Structure formats: C-alpha cells, structure tokens
Chain A
Amino acid sequence: MPGWISRLTLNQKLAGAALLLGAAALFASPYPGSKVTLDAKELSLIVASEADHVEAPELAAWIIEGRGDYRLVDLRTPAEFDRYHIPTAQNIPMSVLTDAGLGRQETLVLYSEGGIHSAQAWMLLRAQGYTAVYMLKGGLDEWNDQVVFPVIADNPTPEQRARDERLRSIAVFFGGQPRSAAATAGAAAASVAAPAAMPAAPKVVAPPSASGAAKPAAKKKKEGC
C-alpha cells in the first residue's frame, strides 16, 4: 500500500471510497432500460394455470369487504366509464395506460367490456415488469351476468336456495337483481339488454388507496431521523 494512503485517516479513506463509487455510478444505472425481455415460458405458464385472472364473484367479495390492497382499473373510454363502472374502479383508458404512473408493485385488476382489451393490457404491463397484474375474467359482461344480474333457479332445491339468497344480496348490493333461469333461457337477449338497464353505481366507499397514491394505506412509511 503506497505511503500516502496509509497516512490518510479512516474518515478520509471512507470519503475516498465514496467518491470512487460515486464516480463509477456515472456508468451504473440502477434502472433497467426501456427494452424489456418477455419471459414467454413464464407468462404461458401463468396463463395456463389461470393465475392471471380474478373471477367476478371474487372481485365482488373484495369490494364488499372493502379491501384496499389492490387497484381496480377500468380500461374503457371515459364516456363508457361514466355510464357505468364497477364501484371503486378507476378509469385509465387503454390509450394512456403506460403513462398512468401505476406502481410496478401494485396489485392491479384490469377490466374492459369483454376480455380482449384487458388481456392485451395484461400482456403489456407484464412485459413492462408489473408483477401483480390480474384481469377480471370475462370483463364487464361476466360481471353483469354473475354479480349484478345473476341467474337463480326457478324451483330451487334447499341447497340452491341458500346460494341464491347469497347471490341476491350481492346483486342488490351492486344495485342489480337476480334473473330467473326460465326468463333467460329463451331470451339470450336478456344479457344484451342488461347494459341498457344498468343500475346506478351504488355508493361504495372507495378504499383510500384506490384513489390516492400508489400504495395501500396499511403500509405507512416512516421518515428517517
């Protein structure tokens, strides 16, 4: 070790090390660039195992429980969003999705009218390194069919009755009502007509995190010092 280094105090050596590391950092960007690698194998496994989506009744339960650890994203246009949206949803149209400042750590649940746009958005976000992205299976169509206007049996068995009661209370919670199986059997049009008669979105208090910053409220950050 050269003499001049051993003559330095420990603090001076540490400062020198910091300067060296700082200078080297000029060439060491910690952020990955804009080019991404898509792990096709991983994604195809996720899709195959159906771990990429949330079913409508599951989402309904989350909303009723008031869970605040995910962000529900409506990918449709603002006009469509204004006409009806799932309570607690936030409108981020497909066209501005990648500029919306979504956190890569956030749990995102995407939905669109059917399933196509949300599936495309899912792939887009996964490719950009968003790790916890899910889509609402079947989109708004299935949401309407299974949650807002669920089909219940006409002559329910006792087991069916309990299930139907639960479906009814969930439907009412979301401002809809159950349909009888007989009425829907003949008229496939019922589900087509449903959006025209969409209920006014019920007043569900959005969890604070859904509208606010990029983080569930449960995880408060503490400042230093």
Chain B
Amino acid sequence: MAMMAPLLKYGVFGDEASLVVAFLIGIGFGFFLERAGFGSARKLVSQFYLNDLAVFKVMFTAIVTAMLGVTYLGWLGWLDLSLVYLVPTYLMPQVVGGLILGVGFVVGGYCPGTSVAATATGRVDGLIYVLGIFAGMFAFAELYPLLKGFYLSGSGEAMTLPGTFGLPYGVVVFAVVLMAVGGFYGAGLLEKKFAAAGE
C-alpha cells in the first residue's frame, strides 16, 4: 500500500519518534513566525490598529492552504481524514477562553506561539509574556476544581462546519476560500484607510 497519512496513525513512526517530528515542526513554526515579523509585538498589535493586517492574512492563508491540502489529499486517498484528530468542542468554555486569549493578545502584544518565538530571539517582553502564560497555567490548575464544571460543559463532541450546518464538505471549503479572499481584499482596503491614522 502506498504511504498513507496521518503517518503516526498508520505507524510510519512511533510515539517516541513523533516527539522528534513535533520538535522539528515546532522549530519550523517558530522560524516562519519570526521570518514573518511575528516575533515583534509592534507588528502583531498593529493589526488591532488596522494599519497592518499581516497576522490576519498569514493565519487565514495558513488555514486555506491547510484546508485545500487536506481536502485534496483526502480526495486522492492519501490522507484518511477520519483518522485526523479533532479537538472536542465545548462551545461556551471555548468562546470564553478565546475571548480571554484575545484580551491577552491585545494587552500583551503576543499570542502564545509568537511569545515563544520572541523569547527565542531575546526579546524581554516576550519572555515576560511567557512567564505570564506559565503563571496563568498554574493559576488555572489550582482553580481547576472550581472551573471544571464550566470547563467541561457542553457535548464534548468534535463539531465541524459541514456537520453543524449540514452542508457538503466541498461547499464549506469553497465558502471558506471565498471568505479568505474577500477578507484579504477587505484587509487591503482597511490598511490603506488606516495607514495615515496610524502614523
């Protein structure tokens, strides 16, 4: 049989080797974050001033690229999509968690991945942000008994857009691509409009 993905699920490498793979992917992720300028809090927060939406564009591009890749690899039969792990959905807790992360992003100027990349290049604000992440994790772990009820509220099933809206998979793919291209066009307009205001 031809090599099938997910490689780990098909036993191409084992759990131990997967840590090496994860390490290499993580290094690559950090490298490209830094190369995109995302090791700098100034670059990151400028998206909230709407004068540089590079973060939005890069992240949405990554989503579209991965989505198209997964779709076509699945269609070709090289990737068994049913074996790909889906994060369980706890809708309300995840909405609240996303908002908290967003507030932290605006206040601290980083998100978790970029703060590590910033720390690796010796930025002190990145280092402080990472320490803040660990403080938050510690506080969360200590408060877990109190938070557990809310943290696990919801079905815990993995929700997907095609499943939730009852749409064919391809329709969702196309809609997301349209959203992305429309978003990039809109982002370009916003950048032009707010470039002067940001000076």
Question: Which residue numbers of A lie inside 8 Å of B, CB to CB?
Answer: 11, 15, 18-19, 21-23, 25-32, 101, 103-105, 129, 131, 212-215, 218-219, 221, 223-225
Stretch at the interface among B119-127, B135-143, B163-171, B190-198: B163-171
Does B178 have its Cβ within 8 Å of any Cβ on chain A?
Answer: yes
Q: How far is the CA of A67 from the CA of B71 in the complex (A)?
A: 34
CB–CB A22/B82 < 8 A: no
Is B133 located at the chain interface by the 8 A CB criterion? no
**Does B42 touch A at the CB level, under 8 Å?**
no
Q: How far is the CA of A129 from the CA of B10 in the complex (A)?
A: 13
Contact with A along B49-63 (1 / 0, CB 8 A): 000000000010010
The answer to whether A105 and B170 touch across the interface, beta carbons within 8 angstroms, is no
Secondary structure dominating the interface of B = helix
Q: Which of B79, B80, B174 contacts A25 (CB 8 A)?
A: B174
Given the contacts A15-B184, A29-B75, A219 and B85 also touching, CB distance less than 8 Å = yes
In contact, B68 and A30 (Cβ under 8 angstroms) = no
A interface majority secondary structure: loop
Number of interface residues of B (CB under 8 A): 42
Residues of B close to A104: CB separation below 8 A: 80, 82-83
Residue among A21, A31, A221 making CB contact with B87, cutoff 8 Å: A221
Known contacts A26-B174, A29-B168, A213-B156, A21 near B82 by CB under 8 Å: no
* Residues in A neighbouring B82, C-beta threshold 8 A: 31-32, 104-105, 129
Contact present for B81 and A30 (CB under 8 Å): yes
B173 — which chain A residues lie within 8 A by C-beta?
22, 25-26
Name the B residues within 8 Å of A28 (CB-CB). 71-72, 75, 170
Docked complex Cα distance between A19 and B158 (Å)? 27
A25 touches B85 (CB 8 A): no
Determine if B91 is an interface residue (Cβ-Cβ < 8 Å): no
Contact B170 A225 (CB under 8 A): no
**A31 lies within 8 A of B74 (CB):** yes
Please judge, given known A-B contacts A15-B184, A101-B157, A214-B158, whether A22 and B177 are in contact too, CB under 8 Å. Answer: yes
B171-A18 in contact (CB<8A):
no
Query: B87 contacts A26, CB within 8 Å?
Result: no
Closest chain-B Cβ to A208's Cβ sits at a distance in Å of: 12
Query: Which chain B residues lie closer than 8 Å to A224 at the CB level?
Result: 59, 62, 113
CB distance from A195 to the nearest CB of B (A): 34
Q: Shortest distance in angstroms between B181's beta carbon and chain A's nearest beta carbon?
A: 5
Contact A27 B9, CB 8 Å, known A104-B83, A214-B158: no
The answer to whether A225 and B59 have CB atoms under 8 Å apart is yes
Most central of A25, A27, A28 by chain B CB within 10 Å: A25
| B28 interface residue per 8 A CB criterion | no
Docked pose: A146 CA to B168 CA in angstroms:
50
Assembled-state Cα–Cα distance A2/B111 (Å): 43
How far, in angstroms, from A18 to B114 measured CA to CA in the complex?
26
B157 and A30 form a contact (CB under 8 A): no
Known: A18-B177, A129-B82, A214-B85; 20 extra A-B contacts, CB below 8 A, are: A11-B184, A18-B68, A21-B72, A25-B75, A25-B177, A26-B168, A26-B171, A29-B75, A29-B169, A29-B170, A30-B75, A31-B74, A103-B83, A105-B6, A131-B9, A214-B158, A218-B15, A221-B85, A224-B59, A224-B62
Structural contact, A23 and B174, CB atoms closer than 8 A: yes
Residue of A nearest to B25 (CB): A222
